[in-house]
């Protein structure tokens, strides 16, 4: 099983290098308006792409995922806190699944 540790270490090296290179090498403020805008939009684009449609298969039933998604969108749009949004989405899905199991 020692080969498992080699896999784990290799993954770790690659992943850490990806994370550390920009943070250690970029020492100055970026002046380019395009790059600044690009970096500003990156989190919104990435997190949106990661959320949808993956959220539809986050729970056992698509219907509970859809309800959870809707609850999260409504609460987030009304600027509720992170914990509230995440917690209520889970709770809504849980309630839906309770009904489904009857």
Partner 1 sequence: MYVGKMSDFRDGCRDAIPICLGYIAVSFAFGIESSKIGMTPFQSVMTSLLNVTSAGQFSALSIIAAQGSFIELMVLQFIINLRYMLMSAALSQKIDPELSLGHRLGISYGVTDEIFGMSILRKGKLYPLYSYGLIFVSVFGWILGTLLGAMAGEVLPHRLISCLGLAIYGMFIAIIVPDTRTSNAVMAVVAAGMLFSTVFTYTPVICNISSGFRIIIVTVAVAAVASLIAPIKEGEDE
The interface with partner 1 within residues 53-92 (CB under 8 A) comprises 53-55, 58-60, 64-65, 68-69, 72-73, 75-77, 79-91
The size of the interface with partner 1 (CB under 8 A), counted in residues, is: 78
Report d(CA 98, CA 93) in Å as an integer. 9
What are the phi and psi torsion angles at 52 (to 5°)? -120, 130
As measured in angstroms, the least distance from the Cβ of 71 to partner 1 is: 8
DSSP output for 9-67: HHHHHHHHHHHHHHHHH--S----HHHHHHHHHHHHHHHHHHHTTGGGGSSSSHHHHHH
As measured in angstroms, the least distance from the Cβ of 67 to partner 1 is: 10
- By CB under 8 A, the residues from 3 to 22 that bind partner 1 are 3-12, 14-16, 18-22
As measured in angstroms, the least distance from the Cβ of 45 to partner 1 is: 4
């Amino acid at each position: 099983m020692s080969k498992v540790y080699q896999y784990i270490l290799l993954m770790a090296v690659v992943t850490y290098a990806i994370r550390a290179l920009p943070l250690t090498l970029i020492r100055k403020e970026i002046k380019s308006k395009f790059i600044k805008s690009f970096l500003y939009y990156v989190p919104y684009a990435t997190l949106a792409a990661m959320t949808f449609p993956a959220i539809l298969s986050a729970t056992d039933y698509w219907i509970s995922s859809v309800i959870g998604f809707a609850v999260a969108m409504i609460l987030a749009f009304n600027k509720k806190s992170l914990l509230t949004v995440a917690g209520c989405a889970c709770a809504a899905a849980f309630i839906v699944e309770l009904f489904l199991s009857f």
